[in-house]
Amino acid sequence: MATESNSSPLGAGIAPATTAARDPDHSERVVMRYQDAYRVAGFIVGMGTVIKIMAGITGFIILLAGLIAGGNNRQISDVSGLGGFLAGGLTFVLGFVAGVIVSALGQQIRASLDAAVYSSPFMDIAAKARAMGLGPDTSTQQMLSQPDREAIASVQTNWPGYS
C-alpha cells in the first residue's frame, strides 16, 4: 500500500536527501578525497606509460649492443646479432606487456572511482564534475539540458522537505 513517503508499489520510494548529505563542507571534503584518489590512479597510469617507454629504450639498447658486439667479431656476428635481436625483442615485449598491465590497473581504479562518484549522495552534479576533474568551470546548468533543469526545479519547489 502506498503512503506519502513510499509511493512505489514495492514500498521503496525515493527518500529526499538529508541536509547532512548536502552540507557544503561535507561535500568539499568528499570531493577532495576523490580528487586525491584520481591523482593516485593517474600516477599509476603514468607509471605504466613510463614502463612501456623504458621497455622500448632498454630493448633497443640490448638489440644495438648485440649488433655492435657481432660487428666487432666476425666469428660470432650471426650468433650475437640474432641473440641481441631476440634478447632486445623479448625485453621490449615483456616490458611493454608489464606497462600495459600497470596502466590497465590505473584505468580500472579510475572506472571504480567514476562509479563511486556517480553514486555518491554527498555531492551535487557540479561537485561530481569537480571530483572527476571535468573542470572547475563546469556548472550544473551547462551540463543539463532544458528538460532536466525544469525537472530539477519542479522537484525543488514541489517536494515536501526539500530545501
Model pTM score: 0.63
pLDDT value for 128: 84
pLDDT value for 8: 47
**How many angstroms separate the Cα of 32 from the Cα of each of 23, 27, 115, 123?**
14, 9, 16, 11
DSSP run (H or E) holding 158: helix 146-158
Nearest to residue 128, comparing CAs of 52, 50, 22, 56? 22
Nearest to residue 15, comparing CAs of 25, 24, 7? 7
pLDDT 10s digits, 18-60: 444 456 677 788 888 898 999 999 999 999 999 999 999 999 9
24-72 vs 77-119: helix crossing angle, rounded to 10: 170
Helices and strands (H and E) in the chain: how many:
5, 0
pLDDT 10s digits, 76-120: 667 777 888 899 999 999 999 999 999 999 999 999 999 998 888
